[in-house]
Amino acid sequence: MAQPAMPRGNSRKIPKTHTAYCAIHPRASFPMSAMPASKPSDKAARRHPAATPADPPPMNTSTTRRAIRQISKQCAAALAPHGFKLQSPHLHRLMPDGLYHAINFQSSQWGDRHEGRFTINLIVTSQWLHTHWTNLPFPKNPGSAPWPILRRLGQQLPAGNDKWWDVNADTNLDALFTEISRALIKHALPFFAQYPDSQAILDRVRTGGFVHSASDAQRPLIAAILLVEKRQPEAAREILLNALKENAGSPFAKTINLIASRLGIKLQAPA
């Protein structure tokens, strides 16, 4: 999938997880721009020794990244009683059956060192779901695995809009943290409560219940992946066969066969 052109000086390599995700999710709109910063080299560390509160920040650290780092750390403390922990720059909690609830801080690819913006994504995923959909290892940071359920925090707010927060050198980050932490507690926690475990997702996709960000075509694939995890391969095969019949002659049939092969299920193409 072609990536949007970026201004000179801001190009970056797209992570493999995002590439694989977009390959079978053509309407994907989740640029993985909030990936954890890589560990600085020794040379970089010597160039920018550990700063004291009186020192200016290193010149290669943008205002947006500093804001995300501070606010995510503060949010982790506020959400710790609810089981969330920080894996910078994101937050996540692991549910008993292996499902993850994650809070992803996504910076905009536009902006500069002095000002920018970021948004917050709510993610429900698991190693099993992610691996069998993308055929890639589960990311070390669960907050960077945006499948199968992805929702903007702004869409959970009363206005229901895709909300981005602007930051610059004059932004009051403590006030911004207060706003965001309240929104997470009031609106993100009830969102996650709809998906307490993988069985809740399976029940929804099998009974026609609403699943955030999952298309009608994806629902049987999600169901099949979860059924195999629950040691019900025959039920998964039946669902995939029905999906294959409904998508006969469609390019999506290749995706169905691809997922089936990853699950170890053999399908026969409809006549």
Q: Is residue 241 in some structural domain?
A: yes
Q: Is residue 6 in some structural domain?
A: no
Structure tokens at 131: 């691996």
If you average pLDDT over residues 242-262, what whole number do you get?
94
Q: Is residue 53 in some structural domain?
A: no
Percentage of residues of the chain with pLDDT beyond 70: 76
Number of domains in the chain: 2
If you average pLDDT over residues 27-54, what whole number do you get?
34
* Boundary residue ending a domain (158, 193, 228): 193
Tens digits of residue pLDDT in 184-227: 999 999 999 999 999 999 999 999 899 999 999 999 999 999 99
pLDDT of residue 25: 43
- According to the per-residue pLDDT averaged within each range, which of 6-15, 42-51, 104-113, 155-164 is highest? 155-164
* Boundary residue ending a domain (143, 159, 193): 193
Number of other CB atoms surrounding residue 154 within 10 Å: 18
Structure tokens at 234: 């025959």
Same domain, 187 and 226: no
Candidates 192, 222, 266, 228; CA nearest to 24 is 222
pLDDT of residue 16: 45
pLDDT of residue 61: 66
Residue 259 vs residue 11, higher pLDDT: 259
Whether the predicted pLDDT of 14 surpasses 80: no
pLDDT of residue 147: 86
Same domain, 79 and 186: yes
DSSP secondary-structure letter at 150?
E
What does the alpha-carbon distance between residue 125 and residue 144 come to, in Å, rounded to a whole number?
A: 10
What does the alpha-carbon distance between residue 259 and residue 246 come to, in Å, rounded to a whole number?
A: 16
* Residue 34: burial class (beta carbons within 10 Å; 0-12, 13-18, 19+): buried
> DSSP 3-state assignment of 158?
coil
If you average pLDDT over residues 228-257, what whole number do you get?
95
165 is in which domain, residue-wise? 59-193
Q: Is residue 31 in some structural domain?
A: no
Lowest-pLDDT choice from 24-28, 53-57, 207-211, 236-240: 53-57
Q: What is the mean pLDDT of the chain?
A: 82
Q: Are 267 and 238 contacting, i.e. CB atoms less than 8 angstroms apart?
A: no
Q: Is residue 11 in some structural domain?
A: no
* Boundary residue ending a domain (138, 162, 193): 193
Tens digits of residue pLDDT in 123-147: 999 999 999 999 999 999 999 998 8
Same domain, 145 and 64: yes
Angle subtended at Cα 209 by Cα 208 and Cα 212, rounded to the nearest 5 degrees: 120
pLDDT of residue 92: 98
Q: Is residue 34 in some structural domain?
A: no
Tens digits of residue pLDDT in 61-114: 689 999 999 999 999 999 999 999 999 999 999 999 999 999 999 999 887 888
